[in-house]
Structure 1
Amino acid sequence: MTRPDTGNARLTGVGTAVPDTSYGQRELLDLLAVTDPRVRSVFLNSAIERRGLTLPGPAPDGSPVVESQGELLRKHTEQGLVLGRRAIENCLADAGARLSDVRYLCCVTSTGFLTPGFSALLIKELGIDVSCSRLDVVGMGCNAGLNALNAVAGWARSHRGELALLVCVEVCSAAYVLDGTMRSSVVNSLFGDGAAAVAVTAPGDGREDAGGALAPALLRFSSRIIPDAVDAMRYDWDDGHGKFSFWLDPQVPYLVGAHAPGALERLLRGTGLLASDIDHWVVHSGGKKVVDSVRVNLGLTRHDVRHTTGVLRDHGNLSSGSFLFSYRRLASEGRVRPGDLGVLMTMGPGSTIEMALAQW
C-alpha cells in the first residue's frame, strides 16, 4: 500500500491521566469487604494488578460506604473535570500546541450524565476560546472513542490546518453498585478511572504534512454492529438500588471475538491488505477474556497486543479511552517506522466493533 495522501487527518499528539489514588485488586477486596470466594476469584484472576479509582474510605465500623446516585454523578463531574484537564494539557504538550490553538473539542463519556456536558465545562475550566466548536458523545460505551474519532477526523479534514481535540473522560467508579452479586462483582473487578486526549489535524494549504512522518494518518474507518446482541452490554436503571447499573453478558468475549474477523475484512476491503500486513495493533483493553478472544480469532500474537494487556494490567478497563492509553504506549515505544500500518479497534454496547486503519 502506498503512502497516504497528505490530506488525511493525523494524530499529532496524545495525553492521558489517571487518579492520584490507585488500588491493587487485593486492596479493593479488603476495602469492599468481599469475602465470597467466587467473587474474590473474579478479582484475582482478571489479569489486572492495579487501577486508579475514586472511592470513599470505609465507614467508622469498617464497612464500605454506599454512595447515592447523586453523589456518584457529582463524582463523575468533579473527577471527570480533573482528569479531562490533565489529559488535555498532556496531549497539547505532546503535540507542541497551546490551548489557544484548539478549534474543536469532542468529549466522550459513558459513566455519567450531565448538562451542560464536559465540552462546555472544560472550555470554561481551561479558558479555551469561546468560539471553539464542540461535540459531546454520551452513553455509547467502550467503543465510543473510535466513533468520536471518526467525527473529529471529518471535522479536521474540512477545517485544514486547525487543531481538533478528542477527549475521553471515564470515571468508572461513578458507575459502581456494591451489592455482592456476581453481576456487579464482575463489573467492579474490571473498570478503572481515566481520561485520554488525542490531537487531530489535517494539513492546510502550503503544509506538506501535519505532525511529521510519525504522526499516523487515519485512512479509513469501519463499524460492525451485532443487533442480536443489543442487550449483551447495558448501563441502565436499577430500581432495587435506585441508581444506574452496568451489566455484562458472560458470552460477550466470545461474541466479540467471533465477529472480529468480519469487522477487519470490512476495514481492509479494497486495499489489498491482509491481517498479516498490519504492523501495529491498538486494541481496547476490554478484559482478559475479550482480549484473548480477539487475539485468537484474528490470529494475533501476544506481542501484537502487548500494549493492550499492559494497560489492562496497570489500569483496568478504562472504557472509551482505553485504546488511546495503548496508542500512547505504542507512540512512546520508538518501534514505529514511516510506512507502518496500524489497526485501532474498540468494542462496546450495541454490540459493536469499531476499527480504523492508520499509516505512519
Structure 2
Amino acid sequence: MTSITSNPAAAILGIGTALPAHSIAQADIAELIASSLQDSPDLARFARRIFRSCGVDTRYTCEPSYLGSPEDCRYLPIGDHSNIPTTKERMDTYKREALPLGLQAAKQAMNEASMSPEQITHLITVSCTGQYLPGLDVMLIRQLGLSPRVNRLPLIFQGCAAGLKAIQMARDVVLGAPGSQVLVVCVELCSLHFQPAKEREALFAASFFGDGAASCVIGSPKEHHSNNMNLGRGYSVLLPDSTEDMTWEVGNTGYDLYLSPRIPKLLGTHLKSELALLLGGDKLPELWAIHPGGRGIVDSVQEVMNLTEEHTKFSRDVLRNVGNLSSVTIMFVLNAMRQEMKSEGREEADGVAMAFGPGLTAELMRFTYIPAYAAANKEQNHALL
C-alpha cells in the first residue's frame, strides 16, 4: 500500500496513560446525582435516563468524596448547598492530584520511546480543568529530570480538542526543527467540577466526564523501531454558527460547562466536507480515531461517513471504560488502537484522528500505523542507499 506519510518526518514514538485510583460505576454516580436532585424529581428522572444511555459504564475520579454516601458528598450534596467546594478548593485539589498522574503517563511514554530525560527538547502540557503557577510544566521538568532549558509550551483551557492540537503542534516542531524530541503531557480532572445541576444541559455534561492523564513522545520515526504512528497533515477549523454550543467558564464553585444538544447534528452537517478536504480525494482510511465526546458524537461521525462498528469500536470502548477525559481521551483511543494492531500483527494502515472542542473547533489529522518490522525494514533499506 502507499502510505499517506510515505516519507514521514514525525511520529508518535511512545504513549503512556494513567487513571486515578478511584473508579466509580456509572449507575452509582447516576444515583448520587439523582439523590442531590430530590427537590427536582423531573431532573432526577432525566439524570437516571441520560446516564443510562450515554455509553459509559465506568469512570475514574481523584476525589474519594464520590465513593461515600450521598449525605457525605460535598460536590453533589443533598439539600443544603452552602458547603459546596469553592473554585479555590477545587484548584488546590487539582494542584495536588494532577502532577502524579502526569508523571505516571510521561514516564510510560518516555520508557516506550526509549527516550532519556536529556533527549527531550520540548514539553507541551495540556489541561482545561486546573491552573496554577509555576505550573504543571515546571513541576514535570523538575520531577522528570528534564533540562531546565527545555522549550515549554503550556496549552491551557482549550477543551477536548487540545490533546490532538498538542500532537499537531509537536509534529510541526519536529518538522521545523529536525532532531527535536517533544514530550506531550495531558492531565484532566473533570470530576472536580461536578456541582448540583440546575438544568438538563448541565446533567448531560456531567453524564460522561472522568479523570485521567496521557502522554506521548513525538520525534523522528527513523530513531525508533516500535509500532509507530507516523503523523501526516492536519489542521484546525472553526465550524460556523456554533460559538455558543460549547462553553466552559470559571464559576464560584468550579468551572461551568455547557454542552448544546445540537453538537452531534452540527458535526454531522459540517464534518463530511472537512474530511473530504483533509483526504484530498484519497479513499477513506481503515483506522478512525474519533474523540468520544459522547455517544451521540461517535454516532454522528459513524453515520455521516458511513462507517462500521469496527471503525468506531476503539472510541466506544474508551468511552464505555473510562468516560470522556477531555483533552486526554484521544491518546487513550490512539493507544488502544495501536495496542490491538500490534497484538494482532496487523499490517501498515492509514487513519484519521479527530477531536472537538469549544468554538466549535474540530482538530483533524491523518496518520499511518507502521508495525515494528516495517519500521525496522524501512530504516535498514534507508541505510543501504
Q: Shared fold by TM > 0.5?
A: yes
TM-score w.r.t. the length of structure 2 is 0.85
Aligned residue number for residue 206 of structure 1: none
Q: Single out whichever of 92-101 and 297-306 deviates more from structure 2.
A: 92-101
Question: Which of 182, 187, 190 does residue 164 from structure 1 map onto?
Answer: 182
Question: Which of 345, 354, 357 does residue 345 from structure 1 map onto?
Answer: 354
- 1:48 to partner: Cα distance: 0.4
Structure 1 residue runs without a partner (length 5+): 204-208
- 1:249 to partner: Cα distance: 0.6
- 1:146 to partner: Cα distance: 1.7
Q: Single out whichever of 167-176 and 192-201 deviates more from structure 2.
A: 167-176
Residue 65 of structure 2 corresponds to residue 57 of structure 1: yes
When the two chains are superposed, the root-mean-square deviation of aligned CA atoms in Å is 2.1
- 1:273 to partner: Cα distance: 0.7
- 1:159 to partner: Cα distance: 3.2
Question: Which of 199, 202, 226 does residue 184 from structure 1 map onto?
Answer: 202
Question: Which of 324, 338, 343 does residue 331 from structure 2 map onto?
Answer: 324
* Equivalence map 1:113-128=2 (5 Å): 113-128=131-146
* Equivalence map 1:13-32=2 (5 Å): 13-32=14-33
Aligned residue number for residue 11 of structure 2: 10
- Alignment length (residue pairs): 349
Q: Please list the CA deviations of residues 171-213 of structure 1 after superposition, one character each: whole Å capped at 9, or x if unmatched.
A: 111222223532322122110101111110025xxxxx23237
- 1:338 to partner: Cα distance: 5.0
SS in 2 for 1:216: strand
Identity score, percent: 29
Contact 1:256 1:347 in 2 (8 A): no
Aligned residue number for residue 304 of structure 1: 311
Contact 2:47 2:203 in 1 (8 A): yes
* Equivalence map 1:62-77=2 (5 Å): 62-65=71-74, 66-77=84-95
Aligned residue number for residue 44 of structure 1: 52
Bigger fraction of residues in helix: 2
Residue 212 of structure 2 corresponds to residue 194 of structure 1: yes
- For the structure 1 residues 19 and 60, does the alpha-carbon distance in structure 2 shift closer, same or farther, using more than 3 Å as the test? closer
Question: Which of 249, 252, 272 does residue 236 from structure 1 map onto?
Answer: 249
Q: C-alpha separation between the residues in 2 aligned to 1:113 and 1:176? A: 17
SS in 2 for 1:73: helix
SS in 1 for 2:73: coil
Contact 2:8 2:231 in 1 (8 A): no
Larger Cα-atom Rg? 2
Q: C-alpha separation between the residues in 1 aligned to 2:167 and 2:138? A: 19
Q: Please list the CA deviations of residues 284-340 of structure 1 after superposition, one character each: whole Å capped at 9, or x if unmatched.
A: 011111110111011111110111000000010011111110111111112474541
Q: C-alpha separation between the residues in 2 aligned to 1:214 and 1:194? A: 23
- 1:7 to partner: Cα distance: 4.7
Q: Please list the CA deviations of residues 99-123 of structure 1 after superposition, one character each: whole Å capped at 9, or x if unmatched.
A: 2322211011111222233211211
- 1:134 to partner: Cα distance: 1.0
Question: Which of 294, 304, 327 does residue 287 from structure 1 map onto?
Answer: 294
Q: C-alpha separation between the residues in 2 aligned to 1:176 and 1:61? A: 14
Contact 2:8 2:232 in 1 (8 A): no
